[in-house]
Chains A and B, each alone.
Chain A
Amino acid sequence: MSVTTGPVTNWRRPQVQQGWLARLFDSKIFLIIACLTPAMGLLVVFLTYPLGLGIWLAFTDTHIGRDGVFIGFENFESLWYDRVFWGAVFYTVFYTGVATALKFALGLWLALLLNENLPFKSLLRAIILLPWIVPTVLSAIAFWWIFDAQFSIISYVLVDKLGLLDHYIDFLGTPWAARWSLVFANVWRGIPFVAISLLAGLQTISPSLYEAALLDGASSWQRFRRITAPLLMPILAVVLTFSVLFTFTDFQLVYAITRGGPINSTHLMATLAFQRGIPGGQLGEGAAIAVSMIPFLILATLFSYFALARRKWQQGGDDE
């Protein structure tokens, strides 16, 4: 902070008085360093260093309040034979895959609907973004109540109103029901983000392209397939990367609704790492679980990088 208050005193100084301080603030190298220090300092101390520390902790047997010693791959070896860990890996991949596919299918549909000529367009857009704005944990608590075994409103509608089922569903009591319930909650929260981002992408597509296609007699499917899809692809790739990344490392929703239960069937890697690391006290093992997520994240980042690079090339091609 001291760096940022420095310039303030300088502005009040009369310009004629070219003191050493004024000259210092006109030197470009000094300015660059001064401007980058706060951001880079915070990021290096609280992001880069912990990232390295996390990898180091994964190779130690650190507990809370006690420094560990280097134990090589022992944490990873014990994880290799740990059924709960593999269950968490399976569910993380399943959760990410299914939830992302649904979010994108429904989000794209919603974006296409919103792109039509509608009354109250901006109000509609504001309402749709609401699930994404509200704290995840708080909406997760609402879902917890919606998925209640005895008083679930979904069961009530299905059983008592529509008569489709003859018994209440135990949403969070059996493994697969709980897994799908969490996916549903995640999709509910993710659709607005996908829809609004893709809507922005749709709005950049020039209407004249559609007019030209219409004159050539293209069907609506052909227009979607040949114009909308390719032009939406770059933004879709970026949104997809972010969505995969944040779904893969999700924590709040699962922690709030099931805490990994029943019988560890809904643990994500992040919730398992938390459970072993913080309440369990085994920081080393928790860090090993967290570090196991890194290869997946690197894959997603590389995908994003190449998608961005491809976009630049595409823009160059479009400009002419």
Chain B
Amino acid sequence: MSKADTADEGAALSWQSKQRRVVTVYVPLICFVIILLFPFYWMTITAIKPNAEMFDYKTYSPFWVVSPTLANINKLLFETSYPRWLFNTMLIAVCATVISLVASVLAAYAIQRLRFKGSAYVGLAIYIAYLVPPSILFIPLASMVFKLGLFDSPFALILTYPTFLIPFCTWLLIGYFKSIPYELEECALIDGASRLQILRRITLPLAVPGLISAGIFSFTLSWNEFIYALAFISSSENKTVPVAILTELVQGDVYQWGSLMAGSLLGSLPVAIFYSFFVDYYVSSLTGAVKE
């Protein structure tokens, strides 16, 4: 490799010509983007296709829609209980997020700032809790939910979602608290502030980016959760969006692809919009949690 590209890797200097860069960087990158985005495009285009076009590839190109229709979305919104499912999902996600955030802030503060004997072990235990997947917990949890009489109620989900949210949020917040200088708290202690005043007036305001990251992550994770919602909820009006689309819209052997795709699209949109507002927080919390 020549010395030419020491200064600037990206600059097209000497023999590393523009063509070469196009072939080695842009072409593979464009392929990646097309493959990663195609299912979304396909979802959208199917959702607005009339049935005549959807099943006739000979006369219409499947990649485009000639006469777009809102019939599928209309049917979904007004002939099924989709708004109700959307509301359930929102309610459960918000409640689970709030509970997890409160619990995680306190736990992370205790572990990182109150520094007691064995705090490292508590941190490790929470990390290990994150490694316990829902797939091995849902059967005993189902039997617990039955015994507690919570079956088919949103509380079953509001109480169980924090089991995978708290470990993640705590871990994330420990990292944020670590970045706040300890001296700030010492000053406040000398000035006579109580520990809780310190948490509320100093630590929390400085950890706001961390709180936002943890909050949006929890919200998305609860929105996407599937296995608990499938196992603990049985009646149609209490289902969450992912479960309801799969179990209520798939009936018989003829699949209503149009409304299935419309449902998937509408179910993904809230998360996608939410995501677009907080992209940087997502990226930082994702990478932050991995690096910790």
Contact = CB atoms under 8 A, between A and B. Distances in A.
Contacts of B257: 145, 148, 151
B43 A142 contact: yes
A252 B162 CA distance: 19
A239 interface: yes
A113 B30 CA distance: 10
A104 interface: no
A29 B114 CA distance: 9
Interface in A81-129: 106, 109-110, 113-114, 116-118, 122, 124-129
Interface stretch (B80-88, B98-106, B177-185): B98-106
A4 interface: yes
Contacts of A277: 139, 142
Interface centre among B111, B271, B287, by most chain A C-beta atoms within 10 angstroms, is: B287
Interface string A48-79: 11110110010000101100000000000000
Contact of B290 (A11, A62, A133, A200): A200
A283 B137 contact: no
Interface of B is mostly: helix
B286 A197 contact: yes
A39 B103 contact: yes
A116 B39 contact: no
Interface of B: 1, 3, 5-6, 8-10, 25, 28-29, 32-33, 35-37, 39-40, 42-43, 46, 54-55, 57, 62, 99, 102-104, 106-107, 109-111, 114, 116, 122, 126, 128-129, 131-144, 146, 159-160, 162-163, 166-167, 170, 192, 194-197, 200, 220, 223-224, 226-227, 230-231, 241-243, 245-246, 257, 260-261, 263-264, 267-268, 271-272, 275-276, 279-280, 282-283, 286-287, 290-291
Contacts of B135: 249-251, 269-270, 273, 290, 293
Nearest to A214: B6
Interface residues of A, number: 114
Given A39-B126, A43-B167, A274-B138, A127 B33 contact: yes
B129 A31 contact: no
Contact of B163 (A25, A31, A42, A114): A42
Nearest to A284: B139
Contact of B268 (A129, A134, A219, A274): A134
12 contacts: A26-B194, A31-B195, A38-B106, A114-B29, A116-B10, A116-B25, A133-B275, A143-B39, A153-B42, A217-B1, A255-B230, A270-B227
A175 interface: no
Interface of A: 1, 4, 7, 10-11, 15, 22, 25-26, 28-29, 31-32, 34-36, 38-40, 42-43, 46-51, 53-54, 57, 62, 64-65, 106, 109-110, 113-114, 116-118, 122, 124-131, 133-139, 141-143, 145-146, 148, 151, 153, 156, 160, 188, 191-193, 196-197, 199-201, 210-211, 214-215, 217-220, 223, 235, 238-239, 242, 245-246, 249-252, 255-256, 269-270, 273-274, 277-278, 283, 286-287, 290-291, 293-294, 297, 300-301, 304
A interface, over-half SS: helix
A129 B274 CA distance: 13
A51 B136 contact: yes
